[in-house]
């Protein structure tokens, strides 16, 4: 998003790990890794943060994935102008085993305009 931020999908990896305390029973669990940099996004409330609230993941069956309580090591965090969050992770439960996921990123820029991007990511 010109002058606001960059967002790069670093990859998606399937995991066999399941949380024994979760009631969710996904067909597949995927760890999505991504990097974002704040080029000029400003907001009175919080610096740029691209989290699961801005990302919607679709599996091969076009079903929307759900946040899953899995093991991730790097969480999305607010970053000021000129800084980056490298390798943020999101754990997602999918209804359908998938060889690829589609990520819809959607959030408002500093000017209140909704920005959108779509990424197709192979699942390793």
How far apart CA 33 and CA 91 sit, in angstroms, is 9
Q: pLDDT-derived band of residue 21, with 50, 70 and 90 as boundaries? A: very high
The pLDDT tens digits of the residues spanning 23-68 come to 999 999 999 999 999 999 998 888 999 999 899 999 999 999 999 9
- What Rg do the C-alpha atoms of the chain give, in angstroms? 15
Q: pLDDT-derived band of residue 1, with 50, 70 and 90 as boundaries? A: confident
Q: How many C-beta atoms lie closer than 10 Å to residue 72's C-beta?
A: 16
* CATH number for 103: 2.60.40
Instruction: Specify the pLDDT at position 8.
Output: 97
Ordered DSSP codes for 6-71: EEEEEEEEEE----TT-----SEEEEEEEEEEESS---SS--B---TTTEEEE-TTSPBPEE----
Total domain count, the chain: 1
Per the structure, the complete domain to which residue 87 belongs is given by 5-122
């Amino acid at each position: 998003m010109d002058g606001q931020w960059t967002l790069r999908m670093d990859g998606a990896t399937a995991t066999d790990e399941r949380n024994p305390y979760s009631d969710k029973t996904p067909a597949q669990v995927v760890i999505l890794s991504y990097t974002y940099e704040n080029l000029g996004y400003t907001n009175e409330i919080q610096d740029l943060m691209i989290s699961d609230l801005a990302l919607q993941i679709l599996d091969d069956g076009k079903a929307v994935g759900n946040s899953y309580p899995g093991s991730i090591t790097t969480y999305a965090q607010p970053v000021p102008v000129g800084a980056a969050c490298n390798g943020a992770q999101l754990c997602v439960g999918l209804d359908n085993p998938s060889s690829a996921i589609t990520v819809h990123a959607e959030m408002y820029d500093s000017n209140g305009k909704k920005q959108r991007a779509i990424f197709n990511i192979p699942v390793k």
